[in-house]
Amino acid sequence: MTDYEDITYEVDGPAAVVTINRPARYNAFRGKTVEELIKAFRSAWADNAVQAIILTGAGEKAFCTGGDVKQRAETGDYGPTESGMFEIGNLHKLIRDVPKPVIAAVNGIAVGGGHVLHVLCDLTIASETAKFGQAGPRVGSFDAGFGSAFLARVVGEKRAREIWYLCRQYDAVTAERWGLVNWVVPADRLLDEAKAVAAEIAEKSPTTLRFLKQSFNADTDHQAGLSNLAMSALDLFTHSPEGREGAAAFAEKRKPDFTKYVNA
């Protein structure tokens, strides 16, 4: 079993439970976190006993709040990795490509890149205390690939633009009404419900589920090209003065000043 620092991984019956374990940072991910998530998802893919994968966050406050903006403000990047790369795009692709249903169990705040992760999962179960939204334009970041284009497929163009342009947070009931989540459960029932759904999935033919997932993905696979382009653009943007202003303002707990970049 791989030793993890930023996540936990366990197999419980037919379900692999992958938990982002950085509650002090509201389960924001750094480069190391992403690498460990990739390793965990690959382990679940290779394990024939695993029929479904549950992705959740440690604690009660946050599912995941996206990239660690404090880390970015401190070091200018998301920290060191074994590969030397920040592999969030590969994690997105892996969530889609793993031939087993992935269930997001959203236990708290899911914003920014954390919101993108749950959107990419096959199913989302939300705690009554969950909150959903985007933060990218507020902190000098964006996801112009799956995080926006695929989101529009899930909730429609108008809602997707609202989520990104306004950076508001929405409660679980609203998210369910919009089709952003499948259903909402009491907080103390969240993981049990996710495991029950995984057990229900495990009763189905794994081969048919693999083909169904690939069929659903085929309709939006072209968005992978947009995602690659978006990640390259984001890498350049985060090192620009405008991108650094967003991260610095977040770290300093002040409003960012983007006025000098209007029509730049």
Binding residues: 78, 109-113, 141, 253
Q: 20 and 64 in contact (C-beta within 8 Å)?
A: yes
Burial class (CB in 10 A: 0-12, 13-18, 19+), 117: buried
Q: For residue 191, give both structure tokens.
A: 């993981």
Give the C-alpha separation, 50 to 40, whole Å.
12
Q: How far is CA 91 from CA 105, 178, 248, 261, in A?
A: 17, 25, 26, 31
Binding site for substrate, by residue number, is: 78, 109-113, 141, 253
Q: Which strands sit side by side in the sheet containing 62-64, from one edge to the other?
A: 62-64, 109-111, 131-133, 169-171
